[in-house]
Structure 1
Amino acid sequence: MSLVEAEIKPRKSLFVLKTAKTLFGELDALVADQPANSTAARAIVLAHMRETLVAARADAEAELLATSKGIRCAQNLCNAEDEIISAIHLFATKRVYPVDNPSEAETLAVSAVGGYGRGTLAPGSDIDLLFILPYKQTPWGEQVTEYILYMLWDLGQKVGHAVRSVDECLRMARSDMTVRTATLEARFLTGDKTLFDQMVMRFETEIMAKTGPEFIAAKMAERDERHKMMGNTRYVVEPNIKDGKGGLRDLNTLYWIGKYFYQLKTSQQLVGKGVLSAREYRQFQRAEEFLWAVRCNLHFLTGRAEEKLTFDLQPEMAERLGYAKRVGMLGVERFMKRYFLVAKDVGDLTRIFCTSLEFNHAKDMDLVGRVFAPFRRGKVKIKGDADFVIDSGRLNIAKPDVFTKNPVNLIKMFLVAGREELLFHPDAIKQITRSLRLIDSKLRNDPKANNYFLSILTAPQSVERMLRQMNESGVLGKFVPEFGKIVALMQFNMYHHYTVDEHLIRAVGVMAEIANGGLRKELPLTHELLPQAQ
């Protein structure tokens, strides 16, 4: 099932889906009296399945262009694939390799795993299948499996597959985190459901129930490594929509952890668990919908599993998604600004989700020690400042009304965080976000607030980190409206690697590093002239 069960308004769909039963009937009629295991019959089956697949993809793309509904497109493609695979399985078991009285050894379950298992499929995505066989096997299971796989390969499908017994599924899932994640997302397609249900039940009781913290630690480490490989920023002007920071894989990670740790069946249950608020969940939905629309359009546009929004593709992508030119901004710049704002939302949700896990399940997290950074329990007062406290090793507000009673604290808190070298408590992050409306012209002209802001700007040890956190939280753009206008803005040329706001913050970071005595080899003249300019 999709990470987000998006609500779709009733309308006449452009997507026409044939069921496996209908397709099987059509195959029966087309093959007619020819032997089902003959080369001629196989060619007929292949031709009809290819025609069905091409039509389904065309319908899915037409509906995507008409509605811009990315999740619906991914679900349409997934549903079509389900019916095609089920029809091939039916033909294989009923006509090519029929068994009148099958024994327990002549059973087979076909399940979708990986992204396909979630119930969403991009046009260029792999089809990941798990064939579950009984403990005692006969040649029949191997024959049916081969028939299905060779048919899919001949259709031009990129198929990843595994053939295992239930015991082998569990043994592999215990030792391999990739297999464990794929098994977590397993979804029954066709065949003997008893085998599939047995595998799921044992996986949930024997593995999931005992390894929650271990799984979270692995997923967090995997995410950090992926971000590092992608440049560790969500503001590169040629982003990777799948694996980049703020992309679909980050949303998938939240889904995996939620399903594994909280035993959730749908993403909406994150609200019931108190991990996300209703507003944050709506933000979740909007982000996934947009990213899926981008990904499906990108695959259709390029005709392959392209995940990088390169410069040459961005203008046509903007056109496909309906971003026209406006005064002062190209359509492509409007589209990319929207992309980076969504990537920022994904980052906010990830931070909220992970810190909620850290603080609400600290005892469980300590079982693996390195799931999150170490933190101390309890509250510690900050000397000379009654508005903030160090709560479990992170900066928090002392009382819920700290910002409403004195909005200047919205700026002061970042100064304190930089000075004390502290990260923010999740409650503080939420309260800052909910208090952005308090940043008005009165606060912008407040002498204390401006003094605090200047102190942040002139603290070379922490300025880059605090400006980035102010920007991520939305405070910087509200407090400095001129900066707010360039948040997530890109200039469509080859000379910029990051969005405008990220460029400015990085420039400040370089200046701070120079002030701290760094970059002497790279910039010797700057270090020679700097003392004279002070």
Structure 2
Amino acid sequence: MLLKIKNPRAVINRKTFMLALCEIANAASGEGIDLKKPKVRGKILKVFKDGLENGRAEIQRRFEAKEASGAATLLAGAYLLDQLIRTLHEFTITHVYVLPDDAMGLIATGGYGRAEISPQSDLDIMFLLPKKANPTSSTAVEWMLYMLWDMGLKVGHATRSIEEAVKMAKSDITISTSLLEARWICGNHDLFTDFEARFERDAIKGQEAEFVRAKLEERDLRHDRMGDSRYVLEPNLKDGKGGLRDLQTLFWIAKFLYRVNDIAGLVDKGVLDKSDARRFIKAQRFLWTVRCHLHYLAGRPDETISFNVQNDLAQRMDYTDREGVSAVERFMKHYFLVAKDVGDLTRVICAVLEDQHTKKPMLSFPSFNFRRRISAGFKVDGGRLTVEHEDVFKDDPVNLLRLFVEAEKYDLDIHPEALRLVQKNLKRINKRVQKDPVANALFLELLTNIKGPMRGLMRLNESGVFGRFLPDFGRVVAQMQYDMYHVYTVDEHTIRAIDILWKIEQGLLAKDHPLSTEVIKDLQSRRVLYVAVLLHDIAKGRGGDHSVVGAEVATELCPRFGLNEWETETVAWLVLRHLDMNRTAYKRDLDDPKTIKDFVAQVQSPERLRLLLILTVADTRAVGPTVWNNWKASLLRELYYSAQELMTGGLPTQRREARADRVRKKLIDKLDHWSDADVDWYLAQGHANYFLSYPAEELAHHAEIVLNAHNSDTKLYLETRAVENIDVTEVLIHTLDHPGLFASIAGAMSLSGANVVDAKITTLGNGMALDTFWVQDGEEHAIAAPEKIKRLKDRIEAALTGRLRPARELAEERIRRLPSRTNVFEVAPRVLVNNEASQSATVIEVNGRNRQGFLYDVTRALTDFGLQITSAHISTYGERAVDVFYVRDVFGLKVDSPSKIAALKKTVMQAIGTAKGEPIAKVKQTQ
């Protein structure tokens, strides 16, 4: 580290510090009191604690006043501890346990050995003893350790001879790594010099290959444990992919192989060039700074950039809002770009190390095999594609794309030197190259690669070529969305969506997406779909509706890619409408004929319907590993088939009663064991919508329940069943209908930990309610465990019989509960009233921050307003609740009076306001 600490005596003045300790020692000696006595030891400890606290306070003040960088703060932290430990050692062997100066050596190891001590970091010390140690040394070590612990320091320690240290290093990779960065603090320096020589001779030489293998394996296991992506919602700064530990691993490997002490040494050895070294240092210093802020915010060694600190970090690091992008999103984008740089460095350094330390075969068969086929300017070296000369990109900048196409064509890795040369020549990708037909054809070849586009696009993105060739894509590289729904940055989400599209096309996801796998075979233009998936989120973070802006971008880009007029128009339409199928499937009543009619009016053609279905599946699946589920799949399938039926001459909505009659006939066949009178009675209880909302088998099951309840005067019937193929639990309730029934059930379900995802509400002709709810647990799976089912049924029954009051129980539950992680987000509450989406009901869409009891509060407000809920469609996107209700007034009519609509909005807005006891969120989201 080339930094120097400004005015180090303001951090700790060792001379003054030692004088204070000597005064205590002299006073105790004059009174004949042993320094080890608790009373005197307490005075000594106070001097050390005051020195530590004052030093830390000064280091923090400098950092937060922006007088010191993160790097300087780490160095100052190590300096403070060095001075404390040197003083403690000197005082101990001089006044407490009199020992010669060469009795031991105090050695900093691990991060402390690198002189990198974050505000709340542990410190590792090795007490190095000679082979024939003074018997008093162990007692002195123990006294010093207890002083350090009592100061509040977290100390990892070892007391060893040189032989013991080297032996353990040879058998334990963790110890070997820690000792690799050993640094002398005080005491016997000759002993430390001897240790370094022995460690070099016995623990390093001949162990290089094993060390590299072990560290890379350790890194891979750590990545798997932390989530194998640089782009996770709440990254771990230290151990996550692209974090500090990755940089440290690279340096450990290089240090083990080359015995260098700093980054400049790696440049001298040819491992890094000057550009790589600058990126390494820049990434390291950024991560150090963020880590210091994290530690100071948490007051503990917190390494996770969690939601509740991201906004504070952005503010501390002077990020501000820009149009379409919040300050916190800009900060996280910077973090992800740094993580990407760390990934680039990892790839380059590991490849260079492999190249320099792997014996090459006498004959390079790949070069022989590919020589005649690979494009001019490229060659194969050791099985990796590289350039023939350094001017290959200068001579023809289109080669910057051709390199990646050739690598994919022949399934080759790309040589690190070629990647370095790519990054040095990125500026050659100017507007002329961007518009070049050959370059665009190469890009489209990579995008639609029949062997799989993901690896090629990932390489293109990591190299920086993707963003330079397609500046609109460059704007979303590392662009995060500050919510709990989107797991990946926009660029990674897009590339993952393209990969899912390819897997659907290849039939690799037929089990999960059978419909998409089937219909993709009938597409007229596969490249329309690939380009649409590429561009669907291209305008995120620009402000305004990203679908509208994205369609405009698509209109400009598609002709550049070589798409014809029809293809361009179709891509632009898909980008504009890429959210419509999800919105309709999840937020509308698919049994309402107007829902299908309106959707078909937007889609207009079977080809667009097929394209939109597949785009929707790929987009949703790529949001995150837990977002897609069978329930969503079933809704999309239902919408697709209904739309297809209407498009291809299916029965028009005017003949709905005729369709219901056909269902009734099927039902009569299934009730052939009933009397005619009972059949007629049951058929009279339901209207056409009811009979069209369920399959005949389900209606027959309902019929048995309804008739049994009628004959036995049963007031409440409740049953549950897990519907495994769509991953929900169905809850069927038959009870006397009354105002507030839905709200009571919703409250009981909330208290039992069940999340409602859909509901169909039926009031039979005899005044009984036959309501079906589909619920999931907190992990978006069916509720199947017997104890959870019992809890769910008990809570519902208690609510419907008056033994449980949801409003009071929920209020008490909110007081008891820990604050929700969603509290850091502000979701602007919104109530939309739509009288055009249904012919028979008013559709109300409610948006707000999700919390326990949200659905209960909203449905209670609708009930209090005098409305009857006929169906409900419940969606949760991370912290955002989006609930849609089909309602009628007490006369069975729509709410169409402007004054009533205004009053309705006000009532529901009050219901979705922040619940009592929950803090108001501070972070605004961008749409």
Q: Is the 8 A contact 1:6 1:285 kept in 2?
A: no
- Verify the 8 A CA contact 1:122 1:299 in the aligned structure 2: yes
Q: What residue number does 1:501 align with? A: 491
Report what 1:75 is aligned to: 75
Partner of 1:223: 219
CA 1:6 to 1:318, structure 2 compared with 1: closer, same or farther past 3 Å?
farther
Deviations 1:120-151 (A, max 9, x none): 10111111111111222343111111111111
In structure 2, give the amino acid aligned to 1:278.
Answer: K
Task: State the one-letter code of the partner of 2:21.
Answer: L
Would you say 1:185 and 2:181 are equivalent positions? yes
Give 1:131's match in structure 2, choosing from 127, 145, 148: 127
> Partner of 1:421 in structure 2?
411
Aligned to 1:332: 328
Residues 148 and 120 (structure 1), Cα distance of their counterparts in 2 relative to 1, 3 Å cut: same
Q: Does 1:24 align with 2:18?
A: yes
Q: Deviations over 1:44-64 (max 9, x none)?
A: 111111111111111111111
Match of 2:87 in 1: 87
Shift of 1:386: 2.2
Matches within 5 A, 1:399-478: 399-478=389-468
> Which segment drifts farther, 383-392 or 463-472?
383-392
Q: Does 1:341 align with 2:337?
A: yes
Structure with greater contact order relative to length (CA < 8 Å, sep ≥ 6): 1
Which protein shows a greater Rg? 2
Residue 372 of structure 1 corresponds to none
Q: Secondary structure at the match of 1:161?
A: strand
Matched, 1:482 2:476: no
Counterpart amino acid of residue 64 in structure 2: L
Task: Give the 3-state SS of the residue equivalent to 2:376 in structure 1.
Answer: strand
Q: Could you tell me whether the CA contact under 8 Å between 1:382 and 1:390 is conserved in 2?
A: no
1:30-57 deviations in Å (ceiling 9; x for gaps): 4442232221111011111111111111
- The Cα of 1:111 is off from its aligned counterpart by 0.7
Per-residue deviation, 1:318: 0.9
Q: Cα gap change, 1:7/1:151 in structure 2, threshold over 3 Å: closer, same or farther?
A: closer
Q: Which amino acid is the alignment partner of residue 69 of structure 2?
A: K
Report the AA paired with residue 435 of structure 2.
N
Question: How far apart in 2 are the matches of 1:84 and 1:277?
Answer: 39
Work out which of the residue numbers 296, 314, 335 in structure 1 matches 2:310. Answer: 314
CA offset at residue 489 of structure 1? 0.9
SS for the counterpart of 2:205 is: helix
User: 1:85: how far off?
Assistant: 1.4
Contact 2:101 2:187 in 1 (8 A): no
- Secondary structure at the aligned position of 2:185 is classed as strand
Residue 386 of structure 1: SS of its match in structure 2? coil
Q: How does 1:521-532 map to 2 (within 5 A)?
A: 521-532=511-522
Alpha carbons 2:11, 2:56 under 8 Å: kept: no
Q: Name 1:369's counterpart in structure 2.
A: none
Q: Distance in 1 between matches of 2:16 and 2:130?
A: 29
Mapping for residues 202-241 of structure 1, pairs under 5 Å: 202-241=198-237
In the TM superposition, 1:252-401 aligns within 5 A as 252-363=248-359, 380-383=370-373, 385-401=375-391
2:193 is aligned to: 197
Deviation at 1:195, TM superposition (A): 1.7
Instruction: Work out the CA distance in 2 between the residues paired with 1:95 and 1:45.
Output: 12
Q: Kindly indicate whether the alpha-carbon contact (under 8 Å) linking 1:75 and 1:121 is maintained by their aligned counterparts in 2.
A: yes
Paired amino acid for 1:189: I
The alpha carbon displacement at 1:19 in A equals 4.7
The corresponding residue for 1:116 is 112
Contact 1:24 1:90 survives alignment (8 Å):
no
Q: Deviations over 1:404-443 (max 9, x none)?
A: 1111111122111111111101121011111111111111
The answer as to whether partners of 2:401 and 2:442 remain within 8 angstroms in 1 is yes
Deviation, 1:391, is: 1.1
The residue number in structure 2 matching 1:152 is 148
Amino acid at match of 1:388: F
Q: TM-score, normalised by structure 2?
A: 0.54
**Are residues 382 and 335 of structure 1, via their aligned partners in 2, closer, same or farther at CA, if it must alter by over 3 Å?**
farther
Deviation at 1:22, TM superposition (A): 3.7
Whether the 8 Å contact between 2:215 and 2:249 is mirrored in structure 1 is: yes
Deviation (angstroms), 1:351: 1.6
- Deviation string 1:385-405 (CA, Å, 9 cap, x unpaired) is 223211110011223222111
1:234/1:69 CA distance change after superposition, 3 Å: same
Matched, 1:60 2:50: no
1:158 positional shift: 1.1
- Give me the whole-angstrom Cα distance separating, in 2, the residues matched to 1:13 and 1:287: 27
The alignment-based identity, stated in percent, is 42
> Which region of structure 1 is more displaced relative to structure 2, 88-97 or 321-330?
321-330
Matches of 2:511 and 2:248 in 1, distance apart? 42
Moved more, 334-343 or 378-387: 378-387
1:342 Cα deviation after fit: 1.1
Q: Separation in 2 of the partners of 1:384 and 1:95?
A: 76
Output the CA distance in 2 between the equivalents of 1:163 and 1:325: 53
CA distance in 2, matches of 1:69, 1:194: 34
The alignment partner of 2:106 has SS state of strand
Question: Residue 15 of structure 1: CA displacement?
Answer: 7.5
5+ long unaligned stretches in structure 2: 29-33, 525-927
Is there any run of 5+ residues in structure 1 with no aligned partner, and where? 367-374
Q: Which amino acid aligns with 2:430?
A: D
CA contact (8 A) 1:382 1:389 kept: no
State the shift of 1:205 in Å: 1.9
Q: Distance in 2 between matches of 1:30 and 1:165?
A: 33
Aligned residue pairs, count: 515
The secondary structure found in structure 2 opposite 1:346 is helix
Cα displacement (A) at 1:17:
2.8
Residues 1:14 and 1:165: Cα distance change in structure 2 (over 3 Å): closer
Relative to structure 2, which stretch is displaced further, 521-530 or 471-480?
A: 521-530
Q: Is the 8 A contact 2:375 2:406 kept in 1?
A: no
State TM-score, norm by structure 1. 0.92
Confirm or deny: 8 A CA contact 1:15 1:60 kept in the other structure.
no
CA distance in 2, matches of 1:444, 1:15: 57
- Shift of residue 525 of structure 1? 2.4
Distance 1:376 1:13, change over 3 A: farther
Report the counterpart of residue 46 of structure 1 in structure 2.
45
Measured in 1, the distance between the counterparts of 2:12 and 2:159 equals: 28
**How big is the shift at 1:485?**
0.5
| Aligned 8 A contact 1:333 1:489 in 2 | yes
The Cα of 1:185 is off from its aligned counterpart by 0.8
User: For the residues of structure 2 that align with 1:493 and 1:6, how far apart are their CA atoms?
Assistant: 40
Inter-partner Cα distance in structure 1 for 2:302 and 2:58: 20
The answer on whether the counterparts of 2:122 and 2:154 sit within 8 Å (CA) in structure 1 is: yes
2:440 alignment partner AA: N
Secondary structure, in 3 states, of the residue corresponding to 1:312?
helix
> For residues 183-225 of structure 1, what are the alpha-carbon distances to aligned partners after superposition, in whole Å with 9 as ceiling and x for unaligned?
1111111221222221111101222222222211211211122
Distance 1:57 1:384, change over 3 A: closer
Mapped contact 2:162–2:195 kept (Cα < 8 A): yes
Do the aligned residues in 2 keep the contact of 1:130 with 1:164 (CA within 8 Å)?
Answer: yes
Query: Structure 1 505/472 Cα, relative in aligned 2: closer, same or farther at 3 Å?
Result: same
